[in-house]
Amino acid sequence: MPQIYVTYPIPGPGIELLRESAHDLIVNPVERFLSTDELHRAIAGCAGVLTQLRDKVDGAFFEAAGPGLKVVSNYAVGFNNIDVAEAERRGVTVCNTPGVLTDATADIAWALLMGIARRVSEGDRMVREGRWTGWNPHQLLGSDIAGRTLAIIGAGRIGYAMAKRSIGWDMPLLYVARHDKREFDRLGARRVELDQALSEADFVSIHVPLSEATHHLIDARRLALMKPTAYLINTARGPVVDEQALVKALQAGQIAGAGLDVYEREPELEQGLAACDNALLLPHLGSATHQTRAAMSDIAARNLLCVLHGDPPPHKVSITTSV
């Protein structure tokens, strides 16, 4: 039977599904991401590979796997680690796990928004370090959320889930998209151009996929458009924001703060970012719930098995796919 390789021991039911499929299954037994050389050796001769976002799937990967490779199933909604055009050229199907992490990612975006606006991590550190001396009328003053304007940059599934969650806070809504979105319009949102959204919003939440067009979409010029009282939230992909420009904006007080779950060169941070008290930094937790990771595991395995069995996979990626 065709050989399947899983590059990292994922949680949830996916491994059992693959094990029960009667295919020759090999799972990287250790919770460590493989070096490029290790990965290429491991996938040699495989028909299917279940990959992680940190695995680089490019021409060299396809060469290492050999002509028998039929499918690469990414354990992620994103696929910027995969050269999809090269995969299509070689007849390799690429799959991802969209949909199931929409709510979890929108929740973490809201956690960042509320946490940075109300200075939650600063307060937590103050209490834990014994620096809190009691209630003080000037202590850690933050920003209101109710009634403030929220701009959604990228009106896909996660952007819409983020927008829906704002209704309870009576927030005027702006959204940036190529076309009008009926579901956003029903929420009373206004579609505007990106620069207008940045200049009007009190909170800017990014939900676009990473592509050549969105790399450094938020750069120094666009950060300068934001209000000095505004906050930037990024749960999409790190390189959408010019991290060096963001650090300078935070240090200068050009914007009030930022909440980040993703970074330009993960897991490295731009120099100076960790020292910014007006930044709330999470370690890429967008999909990190037991239920979501289990659902991702199930979908990634089923995608892979469908292709090997000659059936259409539930979630196939193409060069025109957007998330």
The residues annotated with a catalytic role in the active site are 237, 266, 284
Gap between the Cα atoms of 268 and 239, Å rounded: 12
Backbone torsions φ then ψ of 265, nearest 5 degrees = -130, 60
Q: To 10 degrees, what angle do helices 157-165 and 102-117 make? A: 50
One-character DSSP codes across 240-281? GB-HHHHHHHHHTTSSSEEEES--TBTTB--TTSTT-TTEEE
* Whole-Å CA distances, 300 to 14, 72, 126: 7, 9, 42
Residue 106 identity (one-letter amino acid):
A
Rg (CA), the chain: 21
What's the burial of 162, exposed, middle or buried (CB within 10 Å: 0-12/13-18/19+)?
buried
Gap between the Cα atoms of 157 and 103, Å rounded: 9
Output DSSP code: residue 218: B
29 contact partners, CB below 8 Å, separation of at least 6: 9
What's the burial of 97, exposed, middle or buried (CB within 10 Å: 0-12/13-18/19+)?
buried
Contact between 15 and 301 under an 8 Å Cβ cutoff? The reply is yes
Strands 93-95 and 316-317: antiparallel
Q: Where are the alpha helices (DSSP H) in 20-101?
A: 36-43, 59-65, 84-89
Torsion of Cα atoms, 182 then 186 then 189 then 193, to 10° = 10
